[in-house]
Amino acid sequence: MSEEILIAYTWQDIERTLLLDKANWPKEWLGIEMYSRELILCVKDITEKTKQNGKAYLKKLFRQYFIEDEIVIKTTRTRITVLWEKSEEKAGTEALPQPLFKEFLYVNNENNIALKALEEEGVPVTAFHSYKGGVGRTLSMIAFVRNMIQEFQDSKKVLIVDSDIEAPGLTWLGQEQNGSVSISYLDILSIIGAKGEDDEVIENISHEVENSLLTFHTDKMEVSQYFLPTYRREEQLFDIYANPERIMAGESNKYIIVDVLSKLGAKLGVDMVLVDLRAGISEYSAPFLFDPRVSKFFITSTSNQSVYGTHLLLQQIGKQKGNGVTNILLTMVMKETFQGKERDDVYDVLLQGDRCGGGEDIADSIMQVDAVIEIEKSDKMIHLGNLNQICENLNSEPRVTDPIRNLVLEMFRGREKGTVPKYDEKTIARLKSCLHRIATENVTAEGADYSNLLATKSVLQLGSFTREIPKINVLGAKGSGKTYLYKQLLSSKNWDNFLKILDKKSQITEDVVICPVLCSEDRIHFQPLLAACRQYCTESLQAMKTDADILSQNERKVRYAISRMSGENEWQDLWDEIILGMFQNINSWNELDAYLGGIHKKAVFLIDGLETLFRNVMKDDAEKNGIRALCRGLINRLYEYQIDHAGIIIFVRKDIAELAVNANLAQFRDQYQRFELTWSQKDALMLAWKMADRAAKMSGVQWGEDDFPLNNATRAVLEQNLTKLWGKKMGSDASKNAITVRWVLASLSDFNGQLQARDIVRFLKFATADSNVERVQYYDRFLSPEDMRKAVKECSDQKLEEVEQEIHQLKNCFQILREVKQEDKQVPLNERVMDRLGSEEQKALERYGYLKEADGEYYIPESVRYALGYNKSKRGGIKLVSLLVDG
């Protein structure tokens, strides 16, 4: 018992205090019996030691109230005598609590009970509950039924039960629509109290219920559903013969109320029983709340009273193993104000009641956050008339109906039986093998070209050059797709072909030839692309030299220059010499421009692979000058000389460009920002789907074609398509697990909402590494949760290594985080860790998306958490979901 002040007025306070402290009872105690004037302690043997131990415990627990052998409450002049009674009950045996609040209040440990599945003799039961009234509980159920009809027309049927004894709203709506009925929920309780679970009686009841209907309508059709109102005569409300406590007192099956309703639903031929429960902590609702077989929707507004009350309910049902809510519907949300700390605080309180969230990866936290469904406040739903009017308002209020639509689909499609496995082991292994090959050969972008160009927003900007040729820098982080884009330009050979890939049409009348100047040194795998592009260049531009090793010659010139040059002017001359030197008898840009104009051609020169040539930009001023002379000086000269027939695209790693172009850096960034290869989460999903779709075609897997250009697909379409690859959830689709796409994005993204092309390609490479047919777990997808969890950890190690190589400012930051003691490696980061990170390190990590402050606490993303060896707290995991995943 805690050291809080003990206040007692009656014998009930004494009993409650004892039961709440049951875990600390003396080991000799087997139980207690509490009466208004006596406390009987049941023990195996009555000995002096047993009495002394008992008295010492009672004195410690009740303090001033325990006087000699009595408990004395002076305020109410109450005296309770303590007696000892020998009990024959075997020590250690304990009856399971009945599904009532007053019983689960005193349960300290997780309670387990084995119950037969409702579907064995009945149908699923789903309950709608709220701590407070007036938060939209009944409206949510109506919207659920209306959405069911919208999705399934009349092919799905439900039995709706109004068990709200004190405020039977559905019953009133039913009376207005259909008048009187012949049977009610209170009748059912009375029949159970008198007859128990009698199949013949349930059959007879079903015939009465068949005549009781509620009619709902969408914008297209009307459908009636079976309805069991709270009462058939108002007098039943004032003189209730049977309630859950009385029924349980006379029944060995304490879960009989749910069992009977489930069987009644089966007799009626419905797919599900929906129950609108009494709000608050009510024993009329308890049989449904403390039955782990019942799916439960908890409805709450954003008000503190409603949120904390819901948390209280979640704590209680969490004492029962396997019990919990299906979803929490957060209603009356005002999006413009329900943000930031206010929103986080509400989620924190609601999700504290869930026992999940402390898993190794972020899946449990995503599952928790996704369990909360926000429903916006709607003025149309403030004043509700009859059921027809409510349905009419719902038909024109997608802000209310759309969030519930997904719940309906999950509840019904997840329960459909007889689904044949979609793919066999060999098919799964074949596609995984093809996808692994594609990912492996493309993870560094130097592999064979299996995937078509992914038209991200920045790539599409290149499509704006339909009337003139580009003279630009294309910046991007390592792995952002610079070499992917370079390869696509090579394969296009001319600008017109490249624009066609982007669904653009060139307005340039001349043939614009694409001419590689420098290339990644790891180009052996796409050497055929280079050779074909070079051949097109020499055939189109007769003055161009045909040397097969001309790119290697250019690389040698740059390496030689690095060892002997220092000034920016010298570098400018060298870059002119390298490009112009690829032609015979051309010595200036004006001569080249005149030559190209004379043959009605234009040329766009490509430069890539600078990071492999300029390896010491951070320390070497000569290298800085070389990069600056190219990225700024050469492009400026093309404009100054008014060169119309020659352009250039320079692919340069962003960190190298920023180190070299130190003067007017902001202006340089702004000039080329729209061409920077940044990857949104949607872009990453599109790349994943393109690679998966390519693998499907290679392996002969048929999964349908989109009837519109993929580059125009919405994020929702991409997410739906990818369920074919990795499933809807990190478990079976009907399970209460994290949604896979959210888990993937949260595991790979940084706090700037970005993940590079290489991140998703590498993830697919590792996730498809094991194609052993004997380890297939799921037949409706190709990547298992086990495959993906393993892949994320391997990705994290390589991601951290790459970031440290690429962003020199972060190397020391990560080293500090590595050297932290293991007991301090927790997310959010504790004060000791933050103290070790200086202000400059914190700023650097935040700038590049590897540190985020939220509500005074600091977080690192999942993409590096594994590699750094940090664990996440439950609270940290929930916060990470909101920080890492868009939408």
The pLDDT confidence band at residue 876, using thresholds 50, 70 and 90, is: low
Q: Say how far apart CA 592 and CA 266 lie, in whole Å.
A: 85
> Quick one: which of 750, 877, 881 has its CA closest to 826?
877
- Structure tokens, 690: 């393109």
522 close to 444: Cβ distance less than 8 angstroms: yes
Bigger pLDDT: 324 vs 197: 197
883 close to 854: Cβ distance less than 8 angstroms: yes
284 burial class (0-12, 13-18, 19+ CB within 10 angstroms)? buried
Alpha helices in 82-168 (DSSP H): 101-104, 137-152
Q: Say how far apart CA 207 and CA 735 lie, in whole Å.
A: 35
> Quick one: which of 778, 814, 780 has its CA closest to 796?
814
If DSSP states are collapsed to H, E and C, what string results for 258-271? HHHHHHHHHHHCCC
pLDDT at 773 over 80: no
Q: Say how far apart CA 850 and CA 658 lie, in whole Å.
A: 19
Q: Say how far apart CA 447 and CA 524 lie, in whole Å.
A: 8
- Structure tokens, 776: 């297939």
> Quick one: which of 326, 147, 118, 117 has its CA closest to 225?
147
Residue 276 burial (CB count, 10 A): 26
Bigger pLDDT: 638 vs 353: 638
pLDDT at 874 over 80: no
- Structure tokens, 734: 């009907």
Counting residues of the chain whose pLDDT is more than 70, the rounded percentage is 92
Task: Please state the separation of Cα 806 from the chain's center in Å.
Answer: 29
477 close to 654: Cβ distance less than 8 angstroms: yes
Residue 727 burial (CB count, 10 A): 24
Residue 360, phi then psi, degrees to nearest 5 = -65, -45
Strand segments, DSSP code E, in 29-112 are: 29-34, 38-43, 66-67, 70-73, 78-86
Give me the half-sphere count of Cα atoms (radius 13 Å) on the Cβ side of residue 41: 26
324 close to 318: Cβ distance less than 8 angstroms: yes
Q: Say how far apart CA 128 and CA 630 lie, in whole Å.
A: 67
pLDDT at 772 over 80: no
| The predicted structure's pLDDT at residue 361 | 65
pLDDT in tens, 417-449: 544 458 888 899 999 999 999 998 877 654 444
pLDDT at 357 over 60: no
- Structure tokens, 53: 């131990």
Counting residues of the chain whose pLDDT is more than 90, the rounded percentage is 54
Q: Say how far apart CA 61 and CA 53 lie, in whole Å.
A: 12
pLDDT at 452 over 70: no
Q: What average pLDDT score do residues 358-373 get?
A: 73
27 close to 49: Cβ distance less than 8 angstroms: no
3-state secondary structure of 279: coil
- Structure tokens, 238: 């004032």
The pLDDT confidence band at residue 636, using thresholds 50, 70 and 90, is: very high
pLDDT in tens, 494-550: 999 999 988 889 999 999 999 999 998 777 777 889 999 999 999 999 999 999 999
pLDDT at 345 over 90: no
Q: Say how far apart CA 111 and CA 107 lie, in whole Å.
A: 7
Region of poorest pLDDT, from 335-339, 691-695, 741-745, 805-809:
805-809
Q: Say how far apart CA 327 and CA 736 lie, in whole Å.
A: 10
First to last CA, the chain: 45
| The predicted structure's pLDDT at residue 348 | 84
b vs e for 436-452, b when ≥16 Cβ sit within 10 Å of the residue's Cβ? bbbbbbbbbbbbebbbe
What Rg, from alpha-carbon coordinates, does the chain have? 35
What are the C-alpha distances in Å from 463 to residues 160, 375, 473, 504, 686?
57, 40, 15, 6, 19
Residue pointed to by tokens 């180190």: 659
Alpha helices in 255-397 (DSSP H): 256-268, 286-289, 304-317, 340-352, 363-370, 387-395
- Structure tokens, 184: 């009610």
103 close to 62: Cβ distance less than 8 angstroms: no
Sign for the pseudo-dihedral over CA of 497, 502, 507, 512? negative
The pLDDT confidence band at residue 555, using thresholds 50, 70 and 90, is: very high
Cα-Cα-Cα-Cα torsion 262, 266, 270, 271, nearest 10 degrees, comes to 70
- Show contacts of 205-212: CB within 8 Å, 24+ apart: 205/264, 205/267, 206/264, 206/267, 206/268, 208/182, 208/183, 209/159, 209/183, 209/264, 209/268, 210/268, 211/181, 211/182, 212/174, 212/178, 212/181, 212/182, 212/183
What are the C-alpha distances in Å from 353 to residues 142, 201, 314, 318, 371?
27, 40, 5, 7, 12
Q: Say how far apart CA 587 and CA 594 lie, in whole Å.
A: 12
Q: What is the mean pLDDT of the chain?
A: 87
| The predicted structure's pLDDT at residue 480 | 80
Sign for the pseudo-dihedral over CA of 798, 800, 803, 808? negative
The pLDDT confidence band at residue 847, using thresholds 50, 70 and 90, is: confident
The residues pairing with 66 across neighbouring beta strands, listed in sequence order, are: 71
558 close to 578: Cβ distance less than 8 angstroms: yes
| The predicted structure's pLDDT at residue 448 | 46
| The predicted structure's pLDDT at residue 861 | 92
Task: Please state whether beta strands 471-476 and 372-376 pair in parallel, antiparallel, or not at all (unpaired).
Answer: unpaired
pLDDT in tens, 689-742: 989 999 999 999 887 665 556 667 788 889 989 999 999 888 887 677 888 998
Residue type, 737: N
> Quick one: which of 626, 470, 598, 468 has its CA closest to 541?
598
pLDDT in tens, 69-86: 899 999 999 999 999 998
| The predicted structure's pLDDT at residue 855 | 76
If DSSP states are collapsed to H, E and C, what string results for 662-710? CCCHHHHHHHHHHHCCCCCHHHHHHHHHHHHHHHHHHHCCCCCCCCCCH
- Structure tokens, 113: 């009970």
What are the C-alpha distances in Å from 532 to residues 407, 483, 493?
54, 17, 8
> Quick one: which of 728, 781, 726, 729 has its CA closest to 428?
781
What are the C-alpha distances in Å from 151 to residues 98, 144, 220, 545?
38, 11, 11, 66
Residue 561 burial (CB count, 10 A): 21
Bigger pLDDT: 468 vs 772: 468
Strand segments, DSSP code E, in 697-843 are: 826-827
Task: Please state the separation of Cα 113 from the chain's center in Å.
Answer: 31
| The predicted structure's pLDDT at residue 517 | 97
Residue type, 56: A
pLDDT in tens, 112-122: 788 889 999 99
Q: Say how far apart CA 51 and CA 58 lie, in whole Å.
A: 10
The pLDDT confidence band at residue 260, using thresholds 50, 70 and 90, is: very high
pLDDT in tens, 200-252: 999 999 999 999 999 999 988 999 999 999 999 888 888 888 889 999 988 88
Q: List CB contacts of 74: < 8 A, sequence separation 6 or more.
A: none
85 close to 43: Cβ distance less than 8 angstroms: yes
Secondary structure letter of residue 447 according to DSSP:
S
| The predicted structure's pLDDT at residue 344 | 83
249 close to 304: Cβ distance less than 8 angstroms: no
pLDDT in tens, 24-70: 999 999 889 999 999 999 998 899 999 999 999 999 999 899 998 89
